Amino acid sequence: MIRSRFFPGILMISLLIFQACSSHLANSQHAKPDGKYDASFPTADGSDQLETILRSVKKVNCYTVYKTYVFGEQSHITLASLTEKDAFSNADARITSNEATSGTALVIQSDENKIALLTCAHIVNLPDTIISWSEYSDLEANHYLRSISFKTKEQITVRDIPNGNGFRILACNHDKDLAILGREYEPALSGQIIPVFPYPTGHSAEIRWGTFIYLAGYPAGQLMLTKGIVSKSNDPDNHLLTDAPFNEGFSGGIALALKDGIPNFELIGIGRSVTASKEYFLKPEKEIFEYDYNPSIPYQGPLYVKSKNEINYGITWLIPVDRIRDFYLENRSGILTSGFQLDSFFRVTYPE
């Protein structure tokens, strides 16, 4: 009798509590627009919009060939002595090697005659000359060479673009780690126009602590979409930090924020790098893809030192879009001379 007497009241109180919670949840999912970047996971389905965006995200590769001269410890070769006749004949070894880098690029202009992409400089423009110094040199003067490498060939290719191996660098800044690539088509493409990024560039100065973002790129060569939240760094260049996962190949990948929910995407930056520690290891003369080594037979060939970065996951640096826009304005004249017009993409007005 006691149970049946009090149960209806308890049920009514429970229903009232549930209705209050449901009402609060509904209100939180339909917050009034405030014109600010969202700090919460979107509640609406943005799959179609993201699929459209990803069509403008491309994998970029750079293949570079170096000719390296290695000098003995007793040769005492300096940079000045390399201008002397037969200086390179004193090299103990001459090695031809290649470096292959890959990352992500974003299509920012596309028509039947031209395609332009935005990416990171460290992916597509390796150094022309690489010098290593003798460990027995005067550390202050650093004047004895151990080796010197000269770039003899460089080729940039972009996957899923017609004749994707003819791209050249229109603008590049290594300090800002930004580059714009371009490709002209003669004759014009027909029915193969590559989609341009379909949403506006934002304003990274408006990014707040905890802003929710999507990241898209080509880690390990595979197109991937991930997510994270933003932290604001204290460096003078206003780089952004995110906890989004980052792997090799994600450099140049796009960072998207939402302003008042789906479908209001904006580009607020591109991925640059992660914190990492460098480790050195010995490698055989030929890479594993050039020669199939038998692990049961002791290796007796020449060994070389190579470095590898061990990634500290969850600490990813982003180049903010305001800095990218400044980079474009600094190089606008040269880009225009090359026949490319990117003002509309970067949402800038520039007096002629």
CA distance 282 to 190: 50
Q: What are residue 128's phi and psi, to 5 degrees?
A: -70, -35
Please state the domain extents for the chain: 47-343
Residue 170 and residue 182 in contact, taking contact as beta carbons nearer than 8 Å: yes
H-assigned helices in the chain? 2-29, 47-54, 121-124, 321-337, 343-346
What's the pLDDT tens digit per position in 163-201?
888 899 999 999 999 999 999 988 777 677 889 999 999
What is the C-alpha separation between 145 and 90, in angstroms, rounded?
12
Among candidate residues 266, 277, 337, 300, the one with its CA nearest the CA of residue 49: 266
Q: How far apart are CA 112 and CA 264, in angstroms?
A: 28
Whether residue 5 is predicted with pLDDT greater than 60 in this model: the reply is no
Residue 304 identity (one-letter amino acid)? Y
Is the distance from CB of 179 to CB of 9 less than 8 angstroms? no
Q: How far is CA 217 from the centre of its chain?
A: 8
Tell me, what's the pLDDT at 20? Answer: 44
**280, burial (CB in 10 Å: exposed 0-12, middle 13-18, buried 19+):** exposed
User: Residue 121 phi/psi, 5° resolution?
Assistant: -65, -35
Give the integer Cα–Cα distance in Å for 299 and 291: 12
> Which has the closest alpha carbon to 89: 69, 66, 67, 68?
69
Give tens-digit pLDDT for 276-332: 456 676 777 776 556 677 777 887 778 777 766 555 556 788 999 999 999 999 999
| CA pair distance 226, 240, nearest whole angstrom | 16
Can you tell me whether residue 309 is helix, strand or coil? strand
Average pLDDT, the chain: 82
Q: Is 344 left (phi over 0), alpha (psi -120 to 50) or beta?
A: alpha
Matching CATH number, 47-343, of 3.40.190.10, 2.40.10.340, 2.40.10.120, 3.10.290.10: 2.40.10.120
pLDDT at 11 over 80: no
In the structure, what pLDDT confidence band is assigned to residue 248 with cuts at 50, 70 and 90?
confident
Top pLDDT among 46 and 309 is at 46
